[in-house]
Chain A
Amino acid sequence: MRPQRTWLRRITIASSLVLGAVVWQVAGQFASDAFWAPLSATLASLVGVAKSGVLLRQALSSFELYLAGLAVAVAVGALLGMLLARVGWLRVALEDYIMMLYATPMVALIPFILSIMGFGFAPKVLVVFLFAVFPMLYNTIEGARSVRPELVEVARSFHSGEWRLWCDVMIPHTLPFMMTGLRQAIARGLVGMVAAEFFLSPSGLGQMIMMGSQNFDTAGMLAAILLIVLLGVGLMDLGRWLERRFAPWRAYQP
């Protein structure tokens, strides 16, 4: 019964994807080239830029930006989150600023960042960082603050010092929450990457999209978009996998 159901599911998914591709292809055939390109042309364009080496260069440039911003966001979010969870007065002091920044749509800050930091690599990293850091920070704080007091008591009962308490209890407990934060940061960081490449100095896949659009090279533009979509799907899967891997710790309540 069950294997059959999975089969049915797979067939449905596959058919849906094939149908989507067909619709794309047919729609592209009828629409003007300026608005929409068929799937075949898009793929051809993708192969073309891939062969010329442009794709690799631009994708690497994007990825470099993305990883740099994400890494800083994860490190800062995790460390600051732990610190804020443990040091009460610091949390009280910074809480309102964090709330304000979190509530601000990050795109609104981009002109400001541009006028202060100009066009280099650093401001773009800052944009990715700002997009990605808050989910990381929030989930870490929530995780670290939700550590079960019984477990802290167990640690103290076995004469654990503060340092060992962090290694044995605080950090392992917070990890699953950090993974939820990481999954969200992965997704939001990607938005930040494209936004930075659009609105600061154009580069990477964002530049490819912009250039395709400006030159009426619809196939080239769609190729870049398709790549970002696939990248997003892959990264989301990675995030979900990481989150699931740590989920049992989080659910365990004897």
Chain B
Amino acid sequence: MRAATETKSERISASAEAQPRIRISRAGMRYDAAQVFRDIDLDIGNREVVAIIGPSGCGKTTLLRCIDGLLPLTSGELRLEGEPVRGPREGVAMVFQHFGLFPWKTVAQNVAYGLKLAGRGADAIAAKVAECIELVGLAGFEHYYPWQISGGMQQRCGLARALAVEPRVLLMDEPFGAVDAQTREILQFELLKIWEMRPTTMVFVTHSIEEAVLMGDRIVVLKGRPSTVHEVVEVDLPRPRERRTLTLPRFAQLREHVWSTLMAEALRAEYEVRK
């Protein structure tokens, strides 16, 4: 069964191999009053992990929403596997900063949510749910409700729900921003492990420079108001990334580089006085 799904997604990706999975060209977005970002150009390849980092309010979440099809761009174009994005679509799944779990559903029911909406059969859902729950390390907690488990476990559940629909693009909006530091580290390395097992295209929004370097093949630094792509940093660290990666001299170099790019801005923002 695994093999069957593998070849299917292989086929789809093969047809799209020629073009990038996601192509963002001259993208701009404004809410009524304020332009959030403009002129963003970004191609994201098949199975590439792009980390997006930038100061608070620079539009990272907004950009993810646009990629997910939840919001239309106000200018420019966004293509997914060659097709313009017009709304939420199959093959893309999002993991939310605030978990976005339904408190009236158990862990298992939350994980099954996307599959149910996709109209899968009960047996297929049960098998897939069990598999994903196992994968994220929630076995034994299927029948707990979100309010009964820790923040880390809740986000494991959110991750399982996204993985269950076998997305070709995984959108992560500061997935570990709301959990404590130790849990965050554990989850980072588990996510890396899971990604090695089933690599997908991933857009990973984060506030943490270390996390961006650890996760990304590239880091997109957003800056300015309205924000634009300030810099794209190639992360030439070997995969699989593990705890050991943190000790590499190259890791420290990249971290320092991104730090200096971001911190000038952060300092300026901190001392900014409202007029």
Residues of A within 8 A of B (CB): 150-151, 153-154, 156-160, 164, 168-169, 172-173, 175, 248-249, 251-252, 254
0/1 interface trace, chain B 111-127, chain A, CB 8 Å (1 if under)? 00110011000000000
A97 vs B94: C-alpha distance when bound (angstroms): 43
Chain B residues within an 8 Å CB radius of A156: 70, 88
* A165: nearest chain-B partner, CB-CB: B117
The answer to whether A159 and B101 touch (CB under 8 A), given A154-B96, A248-B147, A254-B146, is: no
A42 vs B88: C-alpha distance when bound (angstroms): 69
What are 25 A-B interface contacts by the 8 Å CB criterion? A150-B100, A151-B102, A153-B96, A154-B102, A157-B68, A157-B70, A157-B93, A157-B94, A158-B88, A158-B93, A158-B114, A158-B117, A159-B87, A159-B89, A159-B117, A168-B113, A172-B102, A173-B104, A248-B103, A249-B104, A252-B103, A254-B98, A254-B99, A254-B151, A254-B154
Interface residue B165 (Cβ < 8 Å from any Cβ of A): yes
Q: How far is the CB of A243 from chain B (nearest CB, A)?
A: 15
Q: Are A157 and B88 touching (Cβ within 8 A)? A: yes
Complex partner residue of A254 from B88, B104, B178, CB under 8 angstroms: B178
Q: How far is the CB of A175 from chain B (nearest CB, A)?
A: 8
Q: For B90, B96, B118, B151, which residue has the most chain A Cβ atoms within 10 angstroms?
A: B96
Q: Are B151 and A158 touching (Cβ within 8 A)? A: no
Interface residue B141 (Cβ < 8 Å from any Cβ of A): no
0/1 interface trace, chain B 164-204, chain A, CB 8 Å (1 if under)? 01000000000000100000000000000000000000000
The 8 closest A-B pairs by CB, nearest first: A252-B103, A154-B100, A172-B104, A252-B147, A158-B114, A249-B103, A159-B88, A157-B94
Interface residue B251 (Cβ < 8 Å from any Cβ of A): no
Chain B residues within an 8 Å CB radius of A254: 98-99, 101, 146, 151, 154, 178
Q: List 14 extra interface pairs beyond A158-B165, A172-B102, CB under 8 A.
A: A150-B98, A150-B100, A151-B100, A151-B102, A154-B102, A157-B88, A157-B93, A157-B94, A158-B88, A248-B147, A249-B104, A252-B146, A252-B147, A254-B98
A217 vs B70: C-alpha distance when bound (angstroms): 71
A173 vs B104: C-alpha distance when bound (angstroms): 8
A164 vs B114: C-alpha distance when bound (angstroms): 12
Chain B residues within an 8 Å CB radius of A249: 103-104
Chain B, 65-114, CB within 8 A of any chain A CB: 65, 68, 70, 87-90, 93-94, 96, 98-104, 113-114
Q: How far is the CB of B210 from chain A (nearest CB, A)?
A: 24
* B146: nearest chain-A partner, CB-CB: A252
Chain B residues within an 8 Å CB radius of A150: 96, 98, 100
Q: How far is the CB of A254 from chain B (nearest CB, A)?
A: 5
